[in-house]
Structure 1
Amino acid sequence: MPVITLEAGKLNKEQKSQLVKDLTSKAAEIMNVPEQAIIVFINENNMDNIGFGGKLLSEREA
């Protein structure tokens, strides 16, 4: 049972739905397994909890 885990900033429901649909479809195709076997976890992170280039993302947006 393949598991896909995605770490991301805040997403809306439509974005999450599209990601799950597309990731599932492509993984099933590449791995030659049924889509029903794919599990997708989306971990949303607050911009205060993500650092990039030595700064928090919340600081970079400001």
Structure 2
Amino acid sequence: MPVITFEGPVIENLEVKRKLVQKLTDAAVETFEKIPREAFIVLIKENPPTNVGSGGTLLIDRSKP
């Protein structure tokens, strides 16, 4: 079973998650034509800005004045 992992910000809207899963699966099915759609697994790993740092700074701190 192929696994597609998406890591990004927290997605509150369930419809947005559904659309993301559908589009990632569509792209994989189009690319790997011999693998059935049902074989693909999509994992969404949500990372709040308190758990992500870039350039030595937490993302949560970048929005502070």
TM bucket (normalised to shorter chain) is 0.7 to 0.9
Cα shift readout 1:1-57 (whole Å, capped 9, x = no counterpart): 110011111112122111100000110110112211100000111210001122111
State whether structure 2 residue 6 is matched by structure 1 residue 42.
no
CA distance in 2, matches of 1:41, 1:23: 10
Gaps of 5+ in 1: none
- Structure 2 unaligned runs (5+)? none
TM-score, normalised with respect to structure 2: 0.84
Aligned residues: 62
Greater fraction helix: 1
- Residue 20 of structure 2 aligns to which amino acid in structure 1? L
Which of these two proteins has the greater Rg computed from alpha carbons?
2
Task: State the percentage of identical aligned residues.
Answer: 47
- Counterpart of 1:23 in structure 2 is 24
Partner of 1:10: 10
Structure 1 consecutive aligned stretches of length 4 or more whose deviation exceeds 2 Å:
none
Measured in 1, the distance between the counterparts of 2:15 and 2:62 equals 25
Q: Distance in 2 between matches of 1:56 and 1:48?
A: 6
